[in-house]
Chain A
Amino acid sequence: MSASVTQHTEATAPSAAIPAPRRSRTAPIVMGVIGLVLFAVPFVGATIPGVFTGPMSSPGTLQILAVGLVFAGVAMSYDLLLGYTGLLSLGHAFYFALGLYGTNLLMRLFALSYVAAVPLALVITLVVALVFGSVALRVRGVAFAMVTLAFAEAFHVFVEADPARISGGEEGLPLSSAQVPDLFTGVVNTRWVYWLALTFALITFVICRQAVASRAGRVWQAIRENEDRVELLGLIPFHFKLLSFGLSAVLAAGGGAVYLLLVRGATPGSASSVFTLNLIIMVVLGGLGRLWGAALGGLVFGYLQLRLPGLARSGVFDPLPAWLEGPLTEPLFILAVLFVILVMFAPGGLASLPDRLGLRRSEP
């Protein structure tokens, strides 16, 4: 079925931006330690001057970290697609927003509790992802990127123009607080939302790690290297790509469901192509094809995006001439320039820096 439409293209050389993955034995221990440290943050009253404005345990700081953790999880889900399967989807925001809007709408329209709405939203996302994925995966490479972008944009237009009068249009849809457990509402309880975000990021890490090490995960990486050869070996790449697409969509939707509690509402911006492009920045910033790299990229991105405007307001850039000050107060400008520099001169992202600086012996 799928084979009839797959056409032969010239074999593409593996991209310099995606290094061969490496599975280290120490990673689970390191991640465990990092997880414990992050778990303890809400108990730390100390301040880190310059890095965060308030004490570590303050709601403001926890909010920034929690957004970073959600981004980290969603970035890892995107890494499954781009870094491990070699699929350049430009529509990942669609599935993130499905989790966000889906959960909120289910709570609103059917008065479901948050705990019941989230799994249902994830199932809906899976079905949607499988349907749209099977259409988009009929074409390869750049056409696939364009098609996923178009589908995501259709959803964006749908929630923004709101012809069905359910999604709140440009204003977005405020969180339906009544159905959310008390633990996750109110500024005092920010730490519970923070722990939820941390749990989401850790679960995503474990699932992604297991997935890429599984038999299917190996086929994903083979598809990334040379899809024609996988087909020649008697496997049907379409099925494996669809699996990767579905799994990453569900994980992204999970991130959307947590993000809903963090920002207390669903806005059309979360479904826009700009969010997908930001995800690409996160993953490439951290390092494609490395789960911890993607996670790091998400954390750094979330932190910079929320902190840079504050930095600009604090007057650090005031002495600069106006033509330079304007762009520098745009977080996206700094991030995009950083991104271009990394892509050009350090294609493995932040995760490749230890190797580049010779801090780690290269493995055979």
Chain B
Amino acid sequence: MSLQVFVLLSVTGLGLAGVYFLIASGLSLIFGLMDVLNLAHGLFFTVGSYATWWVMSRFDVIGSLGLRFAVALLVAAAMGWAVGWATERLFVRRFYGDHVTQILITLGISLAGVALIGGWFSYDPRTFPLPELFGQVVVIAGARIPVSRLLILAVSVVLLVALLTFLRRTRHGLIIRAGVENRQMVQAMGIDVAKSFTLVFALGGLLAAIGGVLGAVFFAGITPEFGLNVLIFAFIVVVIGGLGSVEGTALSAVLVGLTQQFVNFFAGAGVGDLTVVVLLAATLLLRPQGLLGEVAR
């Protein structure tokens, strides 16, 4: 394998890992804190990508595509936050302690949301104009890397650092981390964990929606069902990384993204996806709690 191919595949794989991390980290936190498997998380992702499409193709008032993309990121983040907040407040909150109903509710929201988006914007794949800069290439070690890949990577790394800082340095983050470890104890200390539940959902929605923006750029097109497909790999990432661990999720996203890219390239499309599932099975057999997870659930 030449160095160029290696570098190109690595950067592409890391870009994919960034998209996976953004959707999987919220999923992992929600599960770690509240034991809720949020099937609506794919919808948050889809909301982000359709917000981007909407801004990029309709906001003609903003002439510069680069500026328009920045606006799209903000709109997607705000909508992801709002949808995540509403999902927890209006639906999930009503069924504390009843995990099956919570999963069923998020499943229903997910399917209804996808059908709603499909009904409004049709199920046809959509593409949209992107800033010219995204299509240009940078030469690194002889490999021609599209700028968009580097941008995806940069945004994901910034968000990873921001998320870790938030969890480690702020009071809200401290409560979330403590809640993941032992929810009853946090409650016993008189802290209102329910507030953290809403926060984690809204935060997860925001991260997934930004993942949707980057995913739309990465895959160069969107469909309403797309979030569900990505969600499946996000589940795999979460389980391999260890439920509730952000660091584990980041590590496993890199592992899964790189494996998928390299194997798909050398062994044929689809084989990489299968390899990732084998990776999951191996993790379960050898280390059921995941790479950095403390306890298996």
> Chain A interface (Cβ within 8 Å of chain B)?
5, 7, 9, 12-13, 15-18, 82, 86, 88, 135-136, 138-143, 145-147, 149-151, 153-154, 157-158, 160-163, 273-274, 277, 280-281, 284, 323, 326-330, 332-333, 335-337, 339-340, 343-344, 347
Contact = CB atoms under 8 A, between A and B. Distances in A.
Please classify the interface of chain B as helix (H, G, I), strand (E, B), loop, or mixed, using the class held by over half of its residues.
helix
A162 B98 CA distance: 40
A333 B116 contact: yes
A15 B100 contact: yes
Nearest to A331: B115
Which of A146, A158, A335 gathers the greatest number of chain B CB atoms within 10 Å? A146
B273 A157 contact: yes
Interface of B: 31, 35, 37, 91, 94-95, 97-101, 103-105, 107-112, 114-116, 118-120, 225, 228, 232, 235-236, 238-239, 243, 268-271, 273-274, 277, 280-281, 284-285, 288-289, 295-297
A150 B232 contact: yes
A326 B105 CA distance: 23
B268 A163 contact: yes
Contact of A138 (B31, B99, B232, B288): B288
Given A135-B285, A146-B37, A160-B270, A330 B115 contact: yes
A332 B111 contact: yes
A280 B99 contact: no
Given A273-B232, A333-B112, A336-B108, A143 B239 contact: yes
Contacts of B104: 17, 280, 284, 339, 343
A12 B99 contact: yes
Contacts of A326: 119-120
Contact of B107 (A5, A280, A329, A332): A280
A274 B280 contact: no
Given A149-B232, A326-B119, 5 more contacts: A141-B99, A153-B232, A277-B110, A333-B116, A336-B115
Given A135-B284, A149-B235, A143 B243 contact: yes
Contacts of A9: 297
Contact of A142 (B35, B268, B277, B281): B35
For the complex of A and B, the 8 pairs showing the least CB-CB separation, nearest first, are A161-B270, A327-B119, A333-B115, A326-B119, A336-B112, A15-B100, A340-B108, A154-B277
Given A15-B99, A138-B285, A333-B119, A7 B297 contact: yes
A186 to B, nearest CB: 33
Contact of A16 (B101, B228, B295, B296): B101
21 contacts: A5-B296, A7-B288, A7-B296, A13-B97, A17-B100, A139-B296, A142-B103, A143-B297, A146-B37, A149-B232, A274-B228, A277-B110, A277-B111, A280-B104, A326-B120, A330-B118, A333-B112, A336-B108, A336-B109, A337-B108, A344-B91
Contact of A327 (B35, B100, B116, B239): B116
Please classify the interface of chain A as helix (H, G, I), strand (E, B), loop, or mixed, using the class held by over half of its residues.
helix
Which of A18, A151, A284, A333 gathers the greatest number of chain B CB atoms within 10 Å? A333
B236 A146 contact: yes
Contacts, number: 160
Contacts of B285: 135, 138
Given A161-B269, A340-B108, A343-B108, A146 B91 contact: no
A323 B95 CA distance: 31
Contacts of A17: 98, 100-101, 104
B239 A146 contact: yes
Contact of B288 (A139, A161, A281, A284): A139
